[in-house]
Structure 1
Amino acid sequence: MILALQLTLAERFSVGPNWFVPALESFLLIPFTVAAFRQNTKETAPVRIFNVLLIAVVVAFNLASLILLIEALLGGKATSGGILLQNALKLWITNVIGFGLWYWEMDRGGPSRRRMQVKRHEDFLFPQMSNPEFAQPGWVPDFWDYLYVSFTNASAFSPTDTMPLTGRAKMLMTTQSFIALLTITLVAARAVNILK
């Protein structure tokens, strides 16, 4: 979905031609796909590093596109409020998915270690962990839980029901909130102002 959002982003808000970033990410996905088919449940250190690197690339290019969008706004080059809103929404959704992936990959050593129930300190405290009587037996968070954390953080600009416990989780959530705040307040407010 991220690739589709980036492909449909207006070229003036893309780093290079709008096909460049999705092509680079697709190229980076090839070793990940090969590794996913070759391993059973154990994730190797190089695969984990690669996953985090790929997510960082997605987030970095998304932030670069947001900066280009803000520059167009401040330079008076943004004339169509509708196009501006569409692109701001694409960047916001990419932000939510990208950070959801990052939280999923980071918490307790990643999805593979959580599945194998390797004991590690939690980066996030989910409500089911505080109130196990409301959770299914053996509950562990899956990708949708982290996507929800990302969505609520990007919407409320703060944690809602899931609390960050480590410094790295707090810094990632702060970065995501900052990007979402820029996208929503600066870009969307200006776009609404110039809608015709």
Structure 2
Amino acid sequence: MSKTSTAVNAIKAFGTDSGDPKNTHTEPRWPAVLALFSIAGLRFALPDSLAIGPSWLLIVIVGILLIPTTWARLRGSDLLSQTLGYILTSIVTLDMVWSLTLLLRALPAHTESPQELLRSAAALWIANILVFASWYWRLDAGGPRARELRGVHTDGAFLFPQMTLDNEAKREMGEQCWSPGFVDYLFLAFNTSTAFSPTDCPVLSRWAKLLMMVQALISFTTVALLAARAVNIL
């Protein structure tokens, strides 16, 4: 086999999961990976006083932990890959919550300039969307790998519009094997942070309702902070 063929096969293997050979539907992981790096990248918008360690620390941690996570997934170690994914998402969540706490403490102390506070609040608001989208994606219906193995998404914590279609309508729309991807959960998280509601997706699970309450509270806090600082500046 030529080196070119070997490289092509390696690239194809990176985008698929090991497991049941009958499973023909694999969900791309790159949107979730991009979201994690985006959360870490937003750290550069925060002043040093609102972050733990240097600005580059979180992005390095994400990059290092993604190596064994990807390795475990490609080797078919679904439990290990899922556990490492939980750890990775927990780290970026705790970092965001800690920065938000420091931001709220800095507000009455006037230790940061209004511009820095506004920039930090905006960065944390975006990070809040990405963090909770990651959690919804990882937890709903057992996670992405469990959804892949089932082949079609019919039950979960959220009632997506595609789940309400009858079989005939699904066939006509080519959605017989529809399953939510990261973008679906990102849309859900965005709606929660902007409209403070799931809009098109009713929430069925209690854990999902609790998570959405926490996300909406964080979003409301940062939006209120942005409004308060804007009024003071004007």
TM-score range, shorter chain: 0.7 to 0.9
Q: Is the 8 A contact 2:65 2:88 kept in 1?
A: yes
- Aligned partner of 1:6 in structure 2 is 43
* 1:193 is aligned to 2:231: yes
Separation in 1 of the partners of 2:189 and 2:78? 26
Q: Which runs of 5+ in 2 are unaligned?
A: 1-37
Q: Is the 8 A contact 1:96 1:147 kept in 2?
A: yes
Higher RCO (CA-CA < 8 Å; seq separation 6+): 1
* 1:88 is aligned to 2:121: yes
More moved, 153-162 vs 128-137: 128-137
| SS of aligned partner of 2:62 | helix
Q: Is the 8 A contact 1:79 1:194 kept in 2?
A: no
Deviation at 1:121, TM superposition (A): 4.5
- Aligned partner of 1:163 in structure 2 is 202
Residue identity matched to 1:145: D
Separation in 2 of the partners of 1:121 and 1:36? 24
* 1:151 is aligned to 2:193: no
TM-score w.r.t. the length of structure 2 is: 0.74
| SS of aligned partner of 2:150 | coil
Q: Count the aligned residue pairs.
A: 191
| SS of aligned partner of 1:123 | coil
Separation in 2 of the partners of 1:37 and 1:4? 26
| SS of aligned partner of 1:163 | coil
RMSD: 2.1
Give 1:1-196 correspondences, 5 Å limit.
1-39=38-76, 44-80=78-114, 82-117=115-150, 121-132=155-166, 133=169, 136-185=175-224, 187-195=225-233
Q: Which runs of 5+ in 1 are unaligned?
A: none
More moved, 129-138 vs 24-33: 129-138
TM-score w.r.t. the length of structure 1 is: 0.87
- The structure with the larger Rg is 2
The superposition leaves residues 3-48 of structure 1 with CA deviations (integer Å, 9 ceiling, x where unpaired) of 2112332211112332233333333222113224434xxx611211
The superposition leaves residues 40-88 of structure 1 with CA deviations (integer Å, 9 ceiling, x where unpaired) of xxx61121122122112111110110111111112122322x3222211
Separation in 2 of the partners of 1:90 and 1:24? 19
Residue identity matched to 1:189: A
